């Protein structure tokens, strides 16, 4: 494995560069995936059948909490990558750990939100609107869940093997994924919750 020391660690082998480009293309596909979900949501937004409408079920405080947590986690994963770049393993592990903990906090808030929806009679089967809402939120939530376990695997590897071209590459790609989830959340926050509450 040839290592090019003029490049940052995560780009330092040819396979690493391929991995990163491949992942960017994958994110392109993910953008299409969420764009499709948003399209479905916008079409279903007012098709509430006999069920409740958006303004009736949305609550601002849990959503603000979720947004705050997720945005913070995007910042901490950025710090983790910075720590990785300067070769500070302990700091990197700490920030990675904080990111994942924030991910769990986000998920538990979201699960609470879903339970709330269930209690106010907005279940998956209620209407076209609730199906689209819960599928969009659920797909994002599933991505965060997957990201949590993925990040956990990487955390263990960095702890065991230290920062090397392999783990640096994985961590960097994971950070791209995590930022992407944040970007999607910003769209969810703006175009589902805020728009729905206005």
**Binding footprint of another protein on the chain (CB under 8 A):** 1, 17-19, 21-22, 25-26, 28-30, 32-33, 36-37, 40, 43-44, 47-51, 124-129, 131-132, 135, 149-150, 153-154, 156-157, 166, 170
Q: In this structure, is the dihedral angle defined by the CA atoms of residues 169, 83, 181 and 187, taken in order, positive or negative?
A: negative
Choose between 19 and 76: whose C-beta lies nearer to another protein. Answer: 19
Dihedral-angle region of residue 113 (phi above 0 means left; psi in -120 to 50 means alpha; beta otherwise): alpha
Choose between 58 and 129: whose C-beta lies nearer to another protein. Answer: 129
Shortest separation between residue 176's beta carbon and another protein, angstroms: 14
- Are 136 and 192 a contacting pair, CB within 8 Å? yes
Choose between 72 and 123: whose C-beta lies nearer to another protein. Answer: 123
Shortest separation between residue 174's beta carbon and another protein, angstroms: 10
Q: CA 22 to CA 10: how far, in whole Å?
A: 14
Q: CA 12 to CA 4: how far, in whole Å?
A: 5
Choose between 69 and 122: whose C-beta lies nearer to another protein. Answer: 122
**Secondary structure class of 13 (helix, strand, coil):** coil
Shortest separation between residue 72's beta carbon and another protein, angstroms: 26
């Amino acid at each position: 494995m040839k290592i090019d020391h003029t490049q940052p660690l995560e780009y330092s082998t040819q396979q690493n560069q391929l991995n990163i480009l491949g992942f960017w293309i994958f994110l392109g596909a993910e953008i299409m995936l969420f764009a499709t979900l948003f399209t479905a949501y916008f079409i279903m937004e007012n098709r509430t059948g006999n069920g409740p409408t958006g303004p009736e079920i949305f609550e601002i405080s849990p959503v603000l909490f979720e947004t705050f947590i997720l945005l913070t986690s995007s910042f901490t994963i950025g710090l983790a990558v910075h720590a990785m770049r300067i070769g500070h393993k302990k700091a990197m592990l700490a920030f990675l750990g904080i990111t994942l903990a924030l991910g769990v906090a986000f998920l538990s808030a979201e699960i609470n939100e879903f339970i709330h929806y269930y209690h106010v009679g907005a279940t998956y089967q209620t209407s076209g609107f609730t199906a689209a809402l819960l599928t969009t939120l659920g797909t994002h939530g599933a991505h965060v869940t997957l990201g949590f376990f993925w990040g956990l695997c990487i955390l263990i590897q960095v702890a065991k093997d230290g920062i090397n071209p392999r783990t640096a590459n994985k961590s960097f790609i994971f950070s791209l994924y995590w930022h992407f989830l944040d970007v999607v959340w910003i769209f969810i926050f703006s175009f589902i919750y805020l728009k729905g509450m206005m």
